[in-house]
Structure 1
Amino acid sequence: MTAPARTAHRYVDVEGVRVFYRESLPDRADAPVLLLLHGFPSASHQYRALFDRLGSRYRLIAPDHPGSGHTEAPAGYTYSFDRLADLTEGFVRALGLTRFALYVFDFGAPIGFRVAERNPEWIAGLIVQNGNAYADGLSEAARDLLAQRPDTPGGPERVHAELTLEAVRGQYLTGVPDPSLVAPDNWTLDHHFLGLPGHREAQAALLFDYHTNVESYDRWQAWLRKHTPPALIVWGENDPFFTEAGARAYRRDLPDAELHLFDTGHFALETHAEEIAPLVAGFLDRLNEEWR
């Protein structure tokens, strides 16, 4: 019988930010390390299904980004993807990580690609779940949202409309054939965190800054071609923002990438953790053979 997974919940100070993170406590001290970067508008709790299923075998580490979850940023903190990548890089150094697989989703993808671009020697492998890096993967709804700027007429209203309870619920349920499989705790908790002081403004700032990620796509694709990390792509194919084409596009630059599409929406782990967890485990096991 497999031992139950255990998870520690910790804080570390990085560049004046009190970063909250969850870390699994595997049975082996030399267990492979997987760094998981969460997406919008959630936090590290979105990976609880993987922690429960894989935490006894692998060292899973998932921080909350500033402006999300339990992480505490000082007043006046500047929210941009460059800044969050700086913070994540500092977080990795603070934990003493030197080699790990990287799991990126949604906002976590542009943060993770920035970190990988600066520190390619850290990245043993890449797992992408609905984390876009190709223009092919941007739906019309995504293009409309990402075109907004603070000074665009109606821009602030359009962006803040994505931060309502109804919009957050829609992110979880759109494209899911059986919505009863998605626990309402998800959007309730995410909406709670959005209501914390400064969080709603932080997420709006990041949505306004997202265009810098699209402008970086060519550079990240070049990084993939140059470094060719082993890659696993798992994708909810009914995602209303990041489409199936964005998943398939990775294989232009990583032709050996393993690709799995699931009949679900943006938060694929909510409905398909039973299928995705063994794929992640198999991927990490193969990487571990190479590490050894």
Structure 2
Amino acid sequence: MVFPLVARAVHRHLDVDGVRVFYRESLPERDHAPVLLLLHGFPSASHQFRRLIDALGSRYRLVAPDYPGFGHTETPADFTYSFDRLADITEGFVRRLGLTRFVMYVFDFGAPVGFRLAERHPEWIAGLVVQNGNAYEEGLSDSARDFIALRPATPGAENTVRDLLTLPGTRGQYETGAVPERIAPEGWTLDQHFLDLPGRKEAQVALAFDYHSNLERYDRWQAWLREHTPPTLITWGANDPFFPAAGAHAYLRDLPDAELHLFDTGHFALEDHLPQIAPLIAGFLDRTWNRRGVAAPAPAVPR
């Protein structure tokens, strides 16, 4: 009997400007394999990509860091939480790891972090995989707009944010729009463990109040897409209560050659549609890497 290859992975830390960044990385069978940088969403961390790494990591180099305020990354007490700072640390992480060219997977918070990286270093981006990572006004639901409009001085605003950081709020982000029995409970359980650590809720409140800074950059990101036309694969949970399917279709306005796939699920589409999405990513990586190549070989992965 022939069994499919399951990836080997390592779990490490890198120090970036005083932040001890945790990351997980697959060890592919071939040298100089295509590189996929996985940028996670709220309220999760790199563990949301565990199964994708298992599925694809024997053929491709998958790298998934935890942002400051998430997962196993350790942050100084005086760290200022904003999307600019998350991008700063992610940029430093990419430099420290020695990546010079990669396909970038952007999901949820990964979109504002990733598009900031793309603006700063277009030469790094060999292609995009977009999964419920919004960059368009029409990709915001009414409830998302109401949430983003919250400001610290608004009475009750912080309590509204904190209500989302409870176990029911975290679980709801996984199950809304999906078939609950297909969603493994350890995802939201692990997310809540990290949210309940000291200082983590304060970090998330600060990021929630900073989210409006992303909308202010949408025009710039769309212009970047039109100028650089990166090969793009869009895989989107069509029932996402925050980022509806209109946000997926909007990418085609600036990237008419993008490949778009909608799935009958919610925000965390990989949780129940990995068997459908993983082959799409594999095919996209093969096509994109062969077409664009790399500016310089990615450094060899330590065994």
TM-score per shorter chain, which class? Answer: over 0.9
Q: What is the letter of the counterpart of residue 119 of structure 1? A: H
Residue 229 of structure 1 corresponds to 230
Distance in 2, Cα, partners of 1:4 & 1:241 = 33
Residue 205 of structure 2 corresponds to 204
1:201 aligns to what SS in structure 2? helix
- State whether residues 104 and 125 of structure 2, in contact with CA within 8 Å, keep that contact through their aligned partners in structure 1: yes
1:132 aligns to what SS in structure 2? coil
Distance in 2, Cα, partners of 1:263 & 1:3 = 28
- State whether residues 126 and 289 of structure 2, in contact with CA within 8 Å, keep that contact through their aligned partners in structure 1: no
Q: What is the letter of the counterpart of residue 214 of structure 2? A: N
Q: Percent identity?
A: 71
Which blocks of at least 5 consecutive residues in structure 1 are unaligned? none
| Alpha-carbon displacement from aligned partner over 1:150-195 (angstroms, at most 9, x marks no partner) | 111111111111101000000000001x210101111110000001
Q: What is the letter of the counterpart of residue 100 of structure 2? A: T
Q: What is the letter of the counterpart of residue 270 of structure 1? A: E
Distance in 1, Cα, partners of 2:221 & 2:289 = 25
Q: How does 1:20-31 map to 2 (within 5 A)?
A: 20-31=22-33
2:219 aligns to what SS in structure 1? helix
| Alpha-carbon displacement from aligned partner over 1:189-234 (angstroms, at most 9, x marks no partner) | 0000001111111111111100000111011000000000000000
Runs of 4+ in 1 over 2 A off after TM superposition: 1-4
- State whether residues 103 and 129 of structure 2, in contact with CA within 8 Å, keep that contact through their aligned partners in structure 1: yes
Distance in 1, Cα, partners of 2:22 & 2:222 = 31
Distance in 2, Cα, partners of 1:159 & 1:193 = 16
| Alpha-carbon displacement from aligned partner over 1:255-275 (angstroms, at most 9, x marks no partner) | 000000000000000010000
Q: What is the letter of the counterpart of residue 261 of structure 2? A: H
Residue 3 of structure 1 corresponds to 5
Distance in 1, Cα, partners of 2:276 & 2:286 = 16
1:160 is the counterpart of 2:170? no
2:49 aligns to what SS in structure 1? helix
Which blocks of at least 5 consecutive residues in structure 2 are unaligned? 294-303
Question: How far did 1:40 drift?
Answer: 0.2
Count of residues in Structure 1 that have an aligned counterpart in Structure 2: 291
- C-alpha root-mean-square deviation of aligned residues, in Å? 0.8
Q: How does 1:129-144 map to 2 (within 5 A)?
A: 129-144=131-146
Residue 214 of structure 2 corresponds to 213
Residue 247 of structure 1 corresponds to 248
Q: How does 1:1-292 map to 2 (within 5 A)?
A: 1=2, 2-176=4-178, 178-292=179-293
Distance in 1, Cα, partners of 2:6 & 2:188 = 27
Distance in 1, Cα, partners of 2:40 & 2:6 = 24
Question: How far did 1:291 drift?
Answer: 3.9
Question: How far did 1:111 drift?
Answer: 0.3
Distance in 1, Cα, partners of 2:99 & 2:26 = 15
194-203 or 242-251: bigger deviation: 194-203
Q: What is the letter of the counterpart of residue 161 of structure 2? A: V
